[in-house]
Chain A
């Protein structure tokens, strides 16, 4: 009984920790308006085959071309001091993205810029900080600052990747060799 309770407590604690860490990560990736309103968003890069970016959150989509190529394996420091141009529409990751802001109401973004002042790296995450200015339809504008989080796409085969790959391949080959040996040589 005691053991069950301990497991249950541990499970609840782990769930809470997971939820809070996820909320923390989301809360620290945002665009802030001049009025102080924070819009949660994440930054993505894609190679399409030219490189594009997209800032995506519940209340906004901003997309455009990258001014310089980035290496997914290494870091994004090359973007420090660069200005990203936001387009009204952009092909990104095979999808046609329309830049919009939906808070309050859905408004299309006609153009804009995002100036990156600082790039910091924390483990496999990068944080890009800077300021933005967007021209919305009907002549409205929106500006403020941002701190956006993105992840390194390190696709190099990791140690665990090696382990899973070799173990899987060796596993199926050994099983096949065992079976054929048994069938052809060991069986009467």
Chain B
């Protein structure tokens, strides 16, 4: 069947599975910057350095790069390929793409995860984005100045209080804890996000990322230059200098390589950093042209993310924390993303003197850009799904998206005490869900679609070829890596999470919200199936390949 064969029935809107068919990336670099923008987030600057310093310093880079080659890049290729394949068949959302690739209705329902994850993460991510903007504004207006607070202990206390007030850490409620201002900023940030997404792939997301990514790089370079020229700010602590800070981050401890935890941490960092298993790449890639390259694009997006993570995140964050606060404090804060970003860095900037305010503003503006390029990528998959499932057009899809996000974000902001609600959604959806979706996607690609066929599909229009050794990697190594990672992760975290849900009402509300979203999304998949069926669009979408090319056995023998 081809798209021309489809006949529109009276009273029904457009015939394509969705209106997104008319949407496409404007340039080759556009999609790469958008995917890289989605991947580059707070974790690149705040999580990676802590993971590296705690797991062998420079030696951490050995398992890190191995994980990049064996997990990150191949899973990325699988997602790019499946996304473009789905796009060719008129699908743009994970449920319908996975249904087409997996050739089963079951995968449409499992694919709901590819909508749930980015949407649920956006509930709290936009809120964090508002914190970044709030801090940037506070630095620009001179409102945030810890230098008057006295010594480091007093500054630490003040920084904690500002953070607590900003996020409403102590009490629940929008007005409680002084976080009304954060709520207003969230509303602004949310409106910006929705506007960008509504403007479309090329007119909104691509244009914004083309502007935001270079701006983010310029901001990172400014902060990096300042950090590298700090010297030894306090002569009474001669060992707290830039070289010491870099040594703290990069001196290798080879004993760490014998510890399995180091390898798990490295694979986990790569996995979360590249936004694989998130439902974003598969959606973004579906808007590529039929003959667009996905192999080189996948590597380029990953490389862009790595430039931000390794050369900026690895040089700025812990180095400056070490120089001003010493090894002990740097070690303590290294494991805490929020602690490092919002409690420690204001103290670091206060120690920099007058220039600290400017650097602080640049730093938090950069984090804001990193966050917003990620958050727009979280809204787009849901919007594509609502359009595809309901067929009511972009405006209606956006309205449904706004309703979902208002409920989710409002609950996140209301139940701000101890950030229990946020942490619960992050743990169950933003962490566990990603593992599950990545495993499912990889299995669908490698065992149902077939590795050979998948690589052939990836090679269509490719500027570089996937090396031959990636066939066994995609079939065995990457899935095994993911299963081990998932197993270790589950054993060490799930009992604690389950206990937390049992004890904390806010955590129960979070789980309830996630469950309600799953039910609603599955319902929409059903509605979408009925709608597509009425139009004669099957599981494989438009332009279904003939039996000879589609019914071959999956797997390596394909």
Contact = CB atoms under 8 A, between A and B. Distances in A.
A9 B237 CA distance: 49
Interface in B228-272: 236-239, 243-252
Q: Is the interface of A mostly helix, strand, loop or mixed?
A: helix
Contacts of B239: 71-73, 153, 155-156
B332 A183 contact: no
A173 B331 CA distance: 28
Interface string A160-188: 11111101110111011011101110110
A46 interface: yes
B29 A49 contact: no
Contacts of A23: none
A164 B244 contact: no
A172 B311 contact: yes
A157 interface: yes
A7 to B, nearest CB: 17
Contact of B326 (A49, A157, A179): A49
A49 B347 CA distance: 13
Interface in B319-344: 322, 325-329, 331-332
A28 interface: no
B326 A47 contact: yes
A165 B328 contact: no
Nearest to B312: A169
Nearest to B326: A47
B59 interface: yes
Given A175-B306, A182-B463, A184-B29, A155 B328 contact: no
A179 B302 CA distance: 10
Given A49-B152, A161-B250, A169-B311, A183 B58 contact: no
Interface size class on chain A is 35 or more
Contacts of B296: 179, 182-183, 187
B463 A183 contact: yes
User: Which of B29, B32, B243, B297 has its CB near the most chain A CB atoms (within 10 A)?
Assistant: B243
B153 interface: yes
A93 B332 contact: yes
B300 A169 contact: no
Q: Is the interface of B mostly helix, strand, loop or mixed?
A: helix
B162 interface: no
A93 B328 CA distance: 6
A169 to B, nearest CB: 5
A171 B250 CA distance: 15
B300 A180 contact: yes
Interface size class on chain B is 35 or more
A49 B324 CA distance: 10
Contact of B251 (A71, A161, A172): A161
A176 B32 CA distance: 11
A145 to B, nearest CB: 29
A50 to B, nearest CB: 10
A153 B311 CA distance: 25
Contacts of B306: 172, 175-176
A6 interface: no
Contacts of A154: 247
Nearest to A44: B328
A164 B304 contact: no
A182 to B, nearest CB: 6
A187 to B, nearest CB: 4
A139 B444 CA distance: 71
A96 interface: no
A155 B318 CA distance: 12
A187 B463 contact: yes
A164 B322 CA distance: 19
A176 B251 contact: no
B184 interface: no
Interface string A128-144: 00000000000000000
A155 B249 CA distance: 9
Interface in B418-463: 463
A71 B238 contact: yes
B314 to A, nearest CB: 7
A94 interface: yes
A158 B304 CA distance: 28
User: Which of A153, A183, A187 has its CB near the most chain B CB atoms (within 10 A)?
Assistant: A183
User: Which of B151, B236, B314 has its CB near the most chain A CB atoms (within 10 A)?
Assistant: B314
A48 interface: yes
Nearest to B258: A18
Contacts of B57: 161, 164
A187 B153 CA distance: 56
A94 B332 contact: yes
Contacts of A155: 239, 244-245, 247-248, 251, 322, 327
B328 to A, nearest CB: 5
A89 to B, nearest CB: 17
B61 interface: yes
Interface string A47-78: 11100000000000000000001011100000
B246 A183 contact: no
A183 B251 contact: no
B517 to A, nearest CB: 36
B534 interface: no
B463 A165 contact: no
Contacts of B246: 157, 161, 165
Contacts of A153: 239, 327
Contacts of B325: 49
Interface of A: 46-49, 69, 71-73, 93-94, 153-158, 160-165, 167-169, 171-173, 175-176, 178-180, 182-184, 186-187
19 contacts: A47-B327, A47-B328, A73-B238, A93-B328, A155-B239, A155-B248, A156-B239, A157-B250, A160-B252, A161-B252, A164-B250, A167-B61, A172-B309, A175-B303, A183-B32, A183-B296, A183-B297, A184-B29, A186-B463
